[in-house]
Structure 1
Amino acid sequence: MSQSVQTKSGPAEIIPVVSPGGVEAWQVRSSFVPLVAVGFAFEGGAAQDPPGREGAMQMLSRLLDEGAGPYGSDAFQERLAEHAIELTFTSSPDALGGSLKTLVAHADDAFDLLRLALAEPRFDQDAVERVRAQMLAGLRYQANDPGTVASRRFIAEGFPGHPYGHPSSGTQESVAAITRDDLVALHRRIVARSHLKIAAVGDLSEAALARHLDATFGALPAKPVLEAVAPTRLVGRGTRHVVDLDVPQSVIRFGFEGVSWRDPDFIPAYVLNHILGGGAFTSRLFQEVRERRGLAYSVGTSLVSYRRTAMTWGYTATKNERVGECLEVIGSEIAKLREDGPTDDELEKAKAYLTGSYALGFDTSTKIAHQLVQIAFEDLGIDYIRRRNDLVAAVGQHDIRRAAERVLGDGAMLIVMAGRPDIA
């Protein structure tokens, strides 16, 4: 067993626990409340959807707690409710993940239900059809939602012909085409021990956790069977696309280059993004677009990191007749930041906020487990939480300039608008 790691922010001690069967988890011991929260992630998400079956991974994640082993859907849910066990599954472009929360007194039952959901999902046809109907209803609603329409068109234009360009929730046609056999095959390919990341937080001894790790995950297949996902970059920068919707204001999605979590320039890019559009009420875009000009209620940017690409993603919405002005202001602020950089005061305030607020991401057991799984999934190291604030504090103007050159580039953006924008 490896040495524990002390941290300056968040949990005080992270212990790597390896079960007798070789299943590893990062653990934070806490006896403050008699709870256990577990997070986990399997390599391989919606990017693994079979061609023509987009939405399969999302459907799979929704079905894992809809019956497993000897329990049908209702019986499985009753078992969870009987002991107030919270079990959820999620999917992203690169991962199938989930979380478990239970009282320590019910840990045996909780981990056993998790084992059944992962190892013996039933995929009963009635459950499949119920979840399919829910997804199709959601897609029909989204077809008239400007934000969803703009987002789906943005990824299609940004990553054409690539798995990242496919909507993770699928289409009406692809969801209708998914069969039970597709779900069984996808489950067999993805749910495996290697590349599995697990974090556990709460009042559980190392020995007890190790026992649960083997019992829950130990019998899963050793390795996943993953389709290769090619590296890619956001394309279409410098182009504008309109999805015609009869609405009084246009929803706008815009984007440009990014850097991944694993990249040495991620932290400088993160600070840069906070100054540009990530800093809620303090960012340049918020101040110029909303506060000074009243063009939009909200505007912002965020860094998006996938396994095989990264980008900076921006959002806003404004009256159709003011779309041109809004885009001009956004482009102008990007150009100013690229050419002149932030002021020293902006940089110091951004770093102070990002270091001071970091601990807020660790104020519940579930948040801690989620953070640890993400850090493990990105291979940032078990000591990342201890190092992170020092990395932010060390960012200087030269680091910001380097990140701006990579991320902002020449200022060209891929822009998608859903509405009837009045632009030349």
Structure 2
Amino acid sequence: MTITRFVIPLLTASLLSAPVTLHAQAQTQAQPATEEMAPVEAIIDIQHVVSPGGIEAWLVQDNTIPFMAIEMWFDGGGSLDRPGARGATNLMMALLEEGTADMDAQAFATAQEGFAASFGFDTYRDEVAISARVLTQNRAEALALLREAMLAPSFEPSALERVRQQVISGIEFDLTDPDTISGLTFNALAYGDHPYATSLDGTVESVAALTRDDIVAAHRSALVRDRVSVGVAGDITPEELGPLLDDLLGDLPEADLPLPEQATFQAPGGIEVVDLAVPQSSVLFGNQGISRTDPDFFPYFVMNQILGAGGYRSRLNQEVREERGLTYGISTWTALSDYIAMHQGAFSSSNDLVAQAIEVVLAEWQDLSENGVTPAELEAAQRYMTGAYPLRFSGNASIAGTLAAMQADDMPIDYINTRNARVMEVTLDDIQRVAGRVIDPETLQFVVVGQPEGLEPSN
């Protein structure tokens, strides 16, 4: 067992609300950090636990309340769907709380409620995630119930048909939603024949065709012992956690399918319009980004905060919303999927304004590429990013999820300790270099869903 102590910088509330000047002329040198920005320390202990059977977990022990959260992430996720069975993993995960070999769905729900436990079963592109929140006094019984759901789900035919219809109804609804349509269209343009090109929910046709054998095969491939990352927080010791991991996960099989290959970004850039009779257009835009393992990741991370992730004070929000009133909000994000890193953004605008809004986005892209950011922008982003980070660790559930995600992303156990320091090390020159790599108006792909006026598609 290894104990890693994380020192998390905090900033005072007054600094978080300090006014800054945005979008002035870029300078070549970052302003030095002032004494005002010196961090205060908070401490979280993370323990690396290895079970007798060799299963690893990261633990934050907290005995102040008799409660524990556990988060298990299994690599592969919806991207492991077999050819012709798109949506099988998603449907399988939705069926895990629909009964086991020894109890039907109602009996399972009654038992879960009786233990005052909460279970979650979720499907993502690159992982399936199983979570549990349990009281210490019922921990053994509640996790034994979860074990049955994971290892021996019944996939009973009537439950399969009921949940199948729920999934199909969701897909049909999504096909009327402009935001969902923009995402599906963007992915189809961007990823070719990679699993990312299609929805992990599947299509109405693919889900309707799924058999129980498809669900059993998806279960066999998704929940495997050698691809699990475990985060635990709460009222449990390392000595108690080790045997619990073996009981819960030790009988899972080893992987039987390879993980997907890396994706390549294939969208041509420009504007794709999907006609939909709605009063305002939904716009999704993006191009390839920088992965977490790239030496330039932290400058990229900070640059994106300034460009579009910084809420009210971000460049795009100031220029598109505050200065011109073209949208109620616009944001960008770093989409760090396992097999490609993307830099994306989105907004909605009335059909008569969307063309102008896109022109402003492209102008901001060009300005950032040529001029970088200002000292005031950099200082404000660093102050916010380092000050807000500790708020993620506000409860056992969020801590357990963070620990599992860090392992799934191959992040080092000392990441929390080094993260804020690396944010503060970013300079204006770093951001200028990264902007030259990533920020290119010519490769930026827009997907517009609606009936935009005066906007000609270029694809």
TM-score (norm 2): 0.90
* Structure 1 residue 11: Cα displacement: 6.0
* Structure 1 residue 228: Cα displacement: 4.1
Q: Does 1:321 align with 2:352?
A: yes
Larger radius of gyration: 2
Mapping of residues 240-279 of structure 1, within 5 Å: 240-279=271-310
* Structure 1 residue 407: Cα displacement: 1.8
User: Take 2:260 and 2:70, find their aligned partners in 1: how far apart are those partners?
Assistant: 28
Q: Does 1:195 align with 2:227?
A: yes
* Structure 1 residue 398: Cα displacement: 2.0
User: Take 1:15 and 1:180, find their aligned partners in 2: how far apart are those partners?
Assistant: 40
**Which residue number in structure 2 is paired with residue 115 of structure 1?**
147
**Which residue number in structure 1 is paired with residue 86 of structure 2?**
54
How many residues align? The count is 423
User: Take 1:410 and 1:313, find their aligned partners in 2: how far apart are those partners?
Assistant: 13
User: Take 1:316 and 1:156, find their aligned partners in 2: how far apart are those partners?
Assistant: 20
- The amino acid of 2:324's aligned partner reads R
Which of the numbers 230, 245, 249 marks the counterpart of 1:213?
A: 245
Q: Does 1:134 align with 2:154?
A: no
**Which residue number in structure 2 is paired with residue 63 of structure 1?**
95
**Which residue number in structure 2 is paired with residue 384 of structure 1?**
415
User: Take 1:402 and 1:374, find their aligned partners in 2: how far apart are those partners?
Assistant: 29
Q: Does 1:5 align with 2:5?
A: yes
Contact conserved, 1:238 with 1:414, CA < 8 A, in 2?
yes
CA 1:7 to 1:193, structure 2 compared with 1: closer, same or farther past 3 Å? farther
- The amino acid of 2:369's aligned partner reads R
* Structure 1 residue 405: Cα displacement: 2.0
CA 1:239 to 1:51, structure 2 compared with 1: closer, same or farther past 3 Å? farther
- The amino acid of 1:275's aligned partner reads I
**Which residue number in structure 2 is paired with residue 204 of structure 1?**
236
* Structure 1 residue 158: Cα displacement: 1.0
Deviations 1:7-53 (A, max 9, x none): 32676100011111111110001012111000111111111112222
Which of the numbers 72, 77, 84 marks the counterpart of 1:45?
A: 77
User: Take 1:399 and 1:89, find their aligned partners in 2: how far apart are those partners?
Assistant: 40
User: Take 1:149 and 1:18, find their aligned partners in 2: how far apart are those partners?
Assistant: 44
Q: Secondary structure at the match of 1:227?
A: coil
Q: Does 1:397 align with 2:428?
A: yes
Contact conserved, 2:93 with 2:122, CA < 8 A, in 1?
yes
Q: Does 1:312 align with 2:349?
A: no
CA 1:4 to 1:236, structure 2 compared with 1: closer, same or farther past 3 Å? closer
**Which residue number in structure 1 is paired with residue 212 of structure 2?**
180
User: Take 1:398 and 1:226, find their aligned partners in 2: how far apart are those partners?
Assistant: 44
Q: Secondary structure at the match of 1:21?
A: coil
- The amino acid of 1:309's aligned partner reads I
**Which residue number in structure 2 is paired with residue 355 of structure 1?**
386
Which of the numbers 260, 263, 273 marks the counterpart of 1:229?
A: 260
User: Take 1:97 and 1:152, find their aligned partners in 2: how far apart are those partners?
Assistant: 23
* Structure 1 residue 285: Cα displacement: 0.5
User: Take 1:228 and 1:39, find their aligned partners in 2: how far apart are those partners?
Assistant: 21
TM-score (norm 1): 0.97
Deviations 1:162-191 (A, max 9, x none): 111111111111111111101111111221
% identical aligned pairs: 38
CA 1:114 to 1:262, structure 2 compared with 1: closer, same or farther past 3 Å? farther
Query: RMSD across aligned C-alpha pairs, in angstroms?
Result: 1.4
Contact conserved, 1:237 with 1:256, CA < 8 A, in 2?
no
**Which residue number in structure 1 is paired with residue 57 of structure 2?**
25
User: Take 1:409 and 1:330, find their aligned partners in 2: how far apart are those partners?
Assistant: 12
User: Take 2:43 and 2:227, find their aligned partners in 1: how far apart are those partners?
Assistant: 24
Q: Does 1:94 align with 2:110?
A: no
Deviations 1:340-398 (A, max 9, x none): 01101100100110000001111011111111111111111111111111111111112
User: Take 1:49 and 1:165, find their aligned partners in 2: how far apart are those partners?
Assistant: 13
**Which residue number in structure 1 is paired with residue 32 of structure 2?**
none
- The amino acid of 1:299's aligned partner reads I
**Which residue number in structure 2 is paired with residue 374 of structure 1?**
405
User: Take 2:388 and 2:190, find their aligned partners in 1: how far apart are those partners?
Assistant: 32
Q: Secondary structure at the match of 1:281?
A: helix
* Structure 1 residue 69: Cα displacement: 3.4
- The amino acid of 2:110's aligned partner reads E
